[in-house]
Amino acid sequence: MSDKDSKPDDTDTDADAETGTTAKRTKADAKGSKPADTSDKPTDEKREDFSRRLENVRAEMHRAQLRSNIIVLVTAVVFLAIGLFVGWMLPGQIIGGGVTPSTATSGPTAPTGPAEQIVPPDGDAQRAWITVPSNNTSPNALVVDIHTDYQCPYCKVTEITYGPLFKALNDRGQIIWRQHTRIFLDRGIGNDSSSRASIAAACVDLADGSKYADYHQLIFVNQPQEGAGFTDAQLREQWPAAVGLSGQQLETFQVCYDTQATRQFVEDVEQNNIQALPNQSPPNGYLFGGNTPIIDGEGRCTGTPGTEIGVCGTPTMFVQGVQFGLNEMFNSDRTPKATTPEELLALLQQIAAGA
């Protein structure tokens, strides 16, 4: 899937989780409808707006809890009244002259309707990626797009090896780091772990964008055997605490996660990246990060050989619109070609230059 063919056994694809696509890139024009657009507010303003909207969600959850408590109370009173009546009518047949109400307690109740859907503050308006926040972005920063699925084993290898180096370059402002979190392995494996993990990561960006990269990597560090999936306790409690979410930020995250407020964004990211859709925000020509569409040469992703597509396999990466993969990142003995941020930057510059 790269200018220098990636190892086919090292890429999970939409069509086959254990084989790589033989898709090739072409300079043909992109086809397909444009993704939904949203207002592109400054990040701080967007986060404040989302906080106000989450307050509405919290209020609705509180009202739902009150309704639930009222129902439980009314039910208990009815049962008690019936018990007293029956005890009066049939004395001695019911011990104590009444019926004990249910002792079940009611936990937090989510709103009855679907939660209001939001785009995370660092999500792009066209819903194709989340830009990892940085306070020091240089005008000459390289644009790096990375496609991963949280259940993809080779994505774990790539993230554990290179994630800290990418983060260092992003913190220095030498790259613009765009994460395209994909969820196609849910279908292949038969669970929803990729979706729930992606929803959680997007909710972390909402709660505190500075924790997003750490949370993203922590998911991969703790990735179980493919197919085992993640637990809600891990995604909702353990890992947010591990990256430092607490207080109001933790509450914001958990409300977002519990109501799945970023689900539509996550689903849109998948759909907008698997197609060759034009990018309305330069420099890259397509939403998936490339400057030319990909051709599904053998039809493994679409079933129709020769179809123009986006990215249907992970891990897949781009720098300045130039596609690269594991062959460019690892030597033949599987050792990394770069072990420091400086070496990685030089490698990315070399790939971007087509060398």
Within 13 Å and on the Cβ side, how many CA atoms surround 304? 3
Query: What is the mean predicted confidence (pLDDT) over 125-134?
Result: 97
Model confidence at 30, in pLDDT bands (50, 70, 90)? very low
Q: Which of 208, 235, 48 is nearest to 133 (CA)?
A: 208
Please give the single-letter amino acid code of residue 241. A
pTM of the full structure: 0.75
pLDDT value of residue 272: 97
Query: What is the mean predicted confidence (pLDDT) over 22-50?
Result: 47
Query: What is the mean predicted confidence (pLDDT) over 239-254?
Result: 98
pLDDT value of residue 20: 38
Pairing type for strands 142-149 and 175-182 reads parallel
pLDDT value of residue 19: 36
Q: Report pLDDT digits (tens) over 174-187.
A: 999 999 999 999 99
Query: What is the mean predicted confidence (pLDDT) over 172-201?
Result: 97
Superfamily of domain 8-38+119-352: Glutaredoxin (3.40.30.10)
C-alpha span between 55 and 44 (Å, rounded): 17
Model confidence at 260, in pLDDT bands (50, 70, 90)? very high
Q: What's the mean per-residue pLDDT of the chain?
A: 79
Residue 7 predicted with pLDDT over 50: no
Tokens describing residue 18: 């254990």
pLDDT value of residue 18: 37
Give whichever of 43-57, 112-126, 192-206 has the largest mean pLDDT: 192-206
Q: Report pLDDT digits (tens) over 338-350.
A: 999 999 999 999 9
pLDDT value of residue 47: 63
CA 156 vs CA 151, 199, 223, 257, 315: distances in Å: 8, 18, 7, 23, 9
Residue 26 predicted with pLDDT over 90: no
Tokens describing residue 309: 């597509």
* Percentage with pLDDT > 90 across the chain: 64
